[in-house]
Amino acid sequence: MPTPDFMRQTVLRYLECVSESRVDEVLQLLADNISVEDPVGGPAGTHVVGIEAVSIFFTQGFSLNRPFPKRTSPVVTTAGNEAAVAFTLQIEIGGKLQELDVIDVMKFDEQKKISSLRAFWNYAERREVQD
């Protein structure tokens, strides 16, 4: 199983890759059977399973919204195989910069890959970023 430090470094790497829209590098952190809920409880199409489906999901999301996460908390790990991090996510919607408060919870498998990613956020709580 991954150590707390390994999980912490992987979560930070994930956020770095997302901020630079590096889908291929994000995918290298994920298990083949990855389950992504982004957001948790979202409409159809926001819970995707499998590396191919997640690749399409992230590629589309990165190109449409240009996400940029800014961490607002340390990465918190469990004594088991999970980690969580809070951040503010800036995204572009309709040419306007918006931000959302997000908490990502990630579960790691025995190969030290992220096997589950659950993103807690609510689109109704987005804010327009003021210049």
Tokens linked to 30: 């994920």
Q: Select from 4, 113, 15 the least CA-distant residue to 72.
A: 15
Please tell me the distance from the alpha carbon of residue 25 to that of residue 13, in angstroms, as a whole number: 9
pTM (2 d.p.): 0.94
Mean pLDDT (10-residue bins), the chain, 131 residues: 97 98 98 98 96 97 92 96 98 91 98 99 93 68
pLDDT of residue 76: 98
Question: Domain boundaries in the chain?
Answer: 4-121
Considering only the top CATH level, what class is 4-121?
alpha beta
d(CA 123, CA 79): 32
Which amino acid, 3?
T
Measure the CA–CA gap between 42 and 44, rounded to whole angstroms. Answer: 7
